[in-house]
Structure 1
Amino acid sequence: MGVLAVLARLVSPLEFGLVGVAVIVVDFSKMFTQMGVGPAIVQRQELENRHLTTGFTMSLGMGLLFAVGLLLSAPLVASFFKMEGLTPILRAISCIFLIDSFTLIGHALMQREMRFKTLAAIEVSSYALGFGIAGIFLAYIGWGVWALVAAHLLQAVLNVIFLVIAQPFPKKPGFEKNAFMELLSFGGGMTMARIGNFLATQGDNLIVGRMLGAAALGIYGRAYQFMVMPAGLFGNALDKSLFPAMAKVQDDKQRLGRAYLTGVSLIALVSIPLSIEFVLLAPEIVLTLLGPKWTDVILPFQVLACSLLFRMSYKMSDSLARATGAVYKRAWRQVLYAATVGIGSYIGQFWGLSGVAWGVALALVLNFLLMAHLSIKLTGIGWAEMAKVHMHGIILGLITGTASYFLVTTLRSLTDSHLLTLFLNALVIMLLAAGLIKFFPTLIISDDLKSLFGKLITNRFKK
């Protein structure tokens, strides 16, 4: 958030929008360059060296192919989006395909071995150096849009260096037909699902960029980023922990069901109160972090914040589907989700950015229900159990949200300092939440979460 706050004051919404389109193009193409190889390596119960060398060859070949492809097709892509200045940005960023192809196997092996602390350290370090230092410095000296491009490329290079050092793997290209087919049988379904998921998570950005322009995309992108950042950090941490763990017990429905419900309960406990706080404090958050030129971010951010629970919670179902190999059942749901996002965003854009946000929010609710239905079929749990694990989060959200509403209303009448309002509200709400958990634990924490926290504390003391 700190890096975003600084860059927002040095780079214009238009420049953010141009790079945002380039990143959308790259992220969409990456689904084909990776071909679901990484998750296939994590999910396989028996992994051999032939899978690693074949997977590395697939990644390297597709990375080179797409790097050249984007280099040549950049003018056509820029013409589609009707954005001047996009062509050189796309050509510069095209080399990221080749760079990232060296990370796929190492990243998958670290996930498989549950080395999450090391992975997190690599991601944080590469981002801090790429964006936090280089990106801010280049933006400060006037590089504008090229500061963002350089930051993306440097982050990718540093990610490769750190991963190669932390996780050795066979770097000699090789190809074995059976290994290729085994990886592709799982990876194909993963790729289909990822295409659907990408169109769902980026379809709104595509429509905003195409229909409303780069500046509007820059504004919408910041609103979306505010919503996605906590969802991404928390959801990705859970996914990296639970996906390999659930893959190991994929034949035990009871253990899968308990793990799934524990994850959903934790997500509800975090996301529901956080969603309410985002809606109430959106003006202070935007003005403090981005500054007064970004006030148009406030309303779409508030709308998107209403859907935070649904965005975070469906990721648990996503992890479960991948862990059990139900990638094709997941895939058609992702395609339907993508279609809903596209339709909702297109209709919503007639009412501006807030209309797009409402279209996306409704699509997230639908996807949550679709993926919850799949999880129920995979684990044998019931809808009543699903509803029950959300109750603790709802109770905590209602209590902290009510307190926050009266506190924020009072603070706004007493001070013009947005930062002070944020700080005092956060302090009071955290103390209130801690007090509720301390003195009324059965009201706030489910039995599954109590068991999980107890195991974590026990393991901590054993160390």
Structure 2
Amino acid sequence: MSSLKEKTVNAMKWSYLSMFVGLALQLFFAAILSRLLTKQEFGVWAIAAVLQRFGQFITDLGIGRAIVQKAKLTEQDIRAGFTAAMLLGLLTTVLAWLVAPAASRFYPDLPNLTTVFRGYALVYMLSSGIIISSSLLRRALNFKPLVRAELTSYAIGHGVIGLGAAYLGYGTLSLVVSAIAQAVIQLALLYSATRHSVKPVFNWSAYQGLLSFGVKATAVSLLEYLSSILDTLIIGKLYSPVALGAYSRTFSTLAMPATNFASSLSRVMAPSFSAVQNEPERLRRAYLSGLRAVAIVISSATGCILIDAPEIVKVMLGPNYLDSITLMQIFALYIPFAVLTNLSAVLAEATARLNVKIGIQAAYLVTLGLAFWLTYSLGGRVEEIAMVLVGTSALRSAAFAVVARSIIGGGGRQIALTYGMGALYFAGSALFTAAVVFSLRSLNLPLPVLFIAEMALGLLVVASVVLLGPPSELQTMARAAVQQLRGRLINSTG
């Protein structure tokens, strides 16, 4: 096994450990939070979070991604990246405080938006300090410190401090407290793992290499971000705060695990793809293997979610969200396209095909905006808005698949077959889950028992398709892990 492959496999293990543990914590914390905050408070949070995330693009300006992608990284690059990030963080914080009242006037039905947005703005400076440390660790495929920082900050910052503030009645501000606490903890842990230079540099030539890539990467990220928030902005302006709260909370409950899955994969694959960007055959094998594994896993999981949606909503969101079951099922159809697009987009970025990414994302943003407006004009509800999201995301995924084919020099048939395989696994897992779950529902089991049974069934389905499905790097890793576990059990009992 090559050194790069060893590092990639090890990084994947740590990344997915973070995902699975984080997922368990997220589901647990989300169920609690849904019972501590109202739909209107989630509506305020949804808009404030949109504005806060927008500022983070200015704070980063693609510097972190440039650190990961750059073929040869120098000490001066690191110093320049840190200096730029801190200056941009300061600038963004000031701008956020000035813009907050205007945002509040644009959404007059959302109370305390100015205070909440200004609270979120405090995270910018903290995030600036995190960028270089996390990027250096990603570049080195050293994910152990990253995982420790993420899980520790989430468990303490959100699970203890954030939920504690919500319990004490701080409402939407409790989410601000949570974000600040998480950023402080991550900053301390990640910097202690890298100890990179914080000495500023003011020579313009030191910034040119980073910014030439970083600005384009930021343009792509900004377009991706605007596309991801367009539904929230439109619903927040044209529909009621309660509708926005239900939509955003339902989406985030389902999207958080899927986003974490995609992020866990892409943050490992980005440096891996970059490392072999000049070796076409290795790049081709890595992409096709990754695409196949992702398609099988995410399609099988979302097939289960489609059937389990009623119990997921009742347990995770509570009785006030029973009208969100249909939304949950629609979002289950969206997730596979979003995750598969992510891998192809990472391939384009790792090989510096940023112009084509900008073109696709710009077309997607315009198409999405027009489709949303037409849906609203025709009297569409938020469920129809969600269906538009699914359809346009499928078109974007197809466009990125074409781009991936051109990058790896062929393989269009394999990519098409992988997408078709994903559809079959989605349908198969949905049918199998329906056969079991409908039988369980007829027994009138208590809701907690039924929910646990459905989660166990879902894990069984996903584990089965990974271990018994088509060959992939993920299957090799999973089988090796099973063999190691079996050996440990034999040794412990022998």
Most deviating of 427-436 and 110-119: 427-436
State the match for 1:265 in structure 2.
292
Match of 1:353 among 371, 378, 382: 382
Match of 1:374 among 380, 391, 403: 403
Question: Which SS does the other structure have where 1:20 is aligned?
Answer: helix
* TM-score, normalisation: structure 2: 0.87
* Equivalent AA in structure 2 for residue 147 of structure 1: S
Tell whether the 8 Å contact from 2:296 to 2:425 is kept in structure 1 after alignment. Answer: yes
State the match for 1:25 in structure 2.
51
Looking at structure 2, the residues matched to 431 and 277 of structure 1 have their Cα atoms a distance apart, in angstroms, of 11
2:34 is the counterpart of 1:34: no
Tell whether the 8 Å contact from 1:258 to 1:448 is kept in structure 2 after alignment. Answer: no
2:145 is the counterpart of 1:118: yes
Count of residues in Structure 1 that have an aligned counterpart in Structure 2: 458
Match of 2:470 among 441, 445, 450: 445
Looking at structure 2, the residues matched to 427 and 8 of structure 1 have their Cα atoms a distance apart, in angstroms, of 23
Tell whether the 8 Å contact from 2:293 to 2:472 is kept in structure 1 after alignment. Answer: no
How far does residue 239 in structure 1 lie from its aligned partner after superposition? Answer: 0.8
State the match for 1:61 in structure 2.
87
2:230 is the counterpart of 1:230: no
State the match for 2:33 in structure 1.
7
Match of 1:102 among 126, 129, 147: 129
Tell whether the 8 Å contact from 1:396 to 1:433 is kept in structure 2 after alignment. Answer: no
How far does residue 109 in structure 1 lie from its aligned partner after superposition? Answer: 0.4
State the match for 1:46 in structure 2.
72
Deviations 1:8-45 (A, max 9, x none): 10111111111221110011121122110001011111
How far does residue 387 in structure 1 lie from its aligned partner after superposition? Answer: 2.0
How far does residue 416 in structure 1 lie from its aligned partner after superposition? Answer: 5.0
How far does residue 188 in structure 1 lie from its aligned partner after superposition? Answer: 1.3
How far does residue 77 in structure 1 lie from its aligned partner after superposition? Answer: 1.1
2:158 is the counterpart of 1:131: yes
How far does residue 457 in structure 1 lie from its aligned partner after superposition? Answer: 8.1
State the match for 2:14 in structure 1.
none
Looking at structure 1, the residues matched to 62 and 463 of structure 2 have their Cα atoms a distance apart, in angstroms, of 41
How far does residue 434 in structure 1 lie from its aligned partner after superposition? Answer: 5.1
Tell whether the 8 Å contact from 1:346 to 1:356 is kept in structure 2 after alignment. Answer: no
Looking at structure 2, the residues matched to 254 and 335 of structure 1 have their Cα atoms a distance apart, in angstroms, of 30
* Unpaired segments ≥5 residues, structure 2: 1-26, 487-494
Tell whether the 8 Å contact from 2:334 to 2:390 is kept in structure 1 after alignment. Answer: yes
Tell whether the 8 Å contact from 1:63 to 1:101 is kept in structure 2 after alignment. Answer: yes
C-alpha change, 1:136 and 1:378, in structure 2 (3 Å) is same
CA RMSD of aligned residues (A): 2.3
C-alpha change, 1:30 and 1:240, in structure 2 (3 Å) is same
Deviations 1:41-100 (A, max 9, x none): 111111111111111111111111111111122111111222332111112222111121
Match of 1:78 among 104, 128, 138: 104
Match of 1:307 among 328, 334, 357: 334
State the match for 2:444 in structure 1.
415
* Unpaired segments ≥5 residues, structure 1: none
How far does residue 382 in structure 1 lie from its aligned partner after superposition? Answer: 2.8
Looking at structure 1, the residues matched to 101 and 368 of structure 2 have their Cα atoms a distance apart, in angstroms, of 27
* Equivalent AA in structure 1 for residue 381 of structure 2: G
Looking at structure 2, the residues matched to 206 and 338 of structure 1 have their Cα atoms a distance apart, in angstroms, of 13
Deviations 1:253-289 (A, max 9, x none): 2111111111111111111111111111111001011
Looking at structure 1, the residues matched to 169 and 84 of structure 2 have their Cα atoms a distance apart, in angstroms, of 39
* TM-score, normalisation: structure 1: 0.93
Tell whether the 8 Å contact from 2:292 to 2:472 is kept in structure 1 after alignment. Answer: no
State the match for 2:12 in structure 1.
none
Looking at structure 1, the residues matched to 399 and 148 of structure 2 have their Cα atoms a distance apart, in angstroms, of 34
Question: Which SS does the other structure have where 1:46 is aligned?
Answer: coil
Deviations 1:139-162 (A, max 9, x none): 112121221221111112212111
Match of 1:160 among 187, 212, 222: 187
C-alpha change, 1:435 and 1:230, in structure 2 (3 Å) is closer
Tell whether the 8 Å contact from 1:347 to 1:359 is kept in structure 2 after alignment. Answer: no
Match of 1:397 among 422, 426, 435: 426
Tell whether the 8 Å contact from 2:297 to 2:462 is kept in structure 1 after alignment. Answer: no
Looking at structure 1, the residues matched to 313 and 177 of structure 2 have their Cα atoms a distance apart, in angstroms, of 26
C-alpha change, 1:390 and 1:362, in structure 2 (3 Å) is closer
Tell whether the 8 Å contact from 2:308 to 2:454 is kept in structure 1 after alignment. Answer: no
Percent sequence identity is 28
Looking at structure 2, the residues matched to 458 and 407 of structure 1 have their Cα atoms a distance apart, in angstroms, of 29
* Equivalent AA in structure 2 for residue 355 of structure 1: E
Looking at structure 2, the residues matched to 257 and 84 of structure 1 have their Cα atoms a distance apart, in angstroms, of 51
C-alpha change, 1:250 and 1:302, in structure 2 (3 Å) is same
How far does residue 178 in structure 1 lie from its aligned partner after superposition? Answer: 1.8
Looking at structure 2, the residues matched to 85 and 454 of structure 1 have their Cα atoms a distance apart, in angstroms, of 52
Deviations 1:406-447 (A, max 9, x none): 222122221152322222233345446656766xx4xx2235
State the match for 2:244 in structure 1.
217
2:156 is the counterpart of 1:147: no
Looking at structure 2, the residues matched to 450 and 284 of structure 1 have their Cα atoms a distance apart, in angstroms, of 30
Looking at structure 2, the residues matched to 427 and 367 of structure 1 have their Cα atoms a distance apart, in angstroms, of 33
Tell whether the 8 Å contact from 1:345 to 1:357 is kept in structure 2 after alignment. Answer: no
State the match for 1:387 in structure 2.
416
How far does residue 227 in structure 1 lie from its aligned partner after superposition? Answer: 2.8
Looking at structure 2, the residues matched to 205 and 61 of structure 1 have their Cα atoms a distance apart, in angstroms, of 30
Tell whether the 8 Å contact from 2:299 to 2:426 is kept in structure 1 after alignment. Answer: yes
2:210 is the counterpart of 1:183: yes
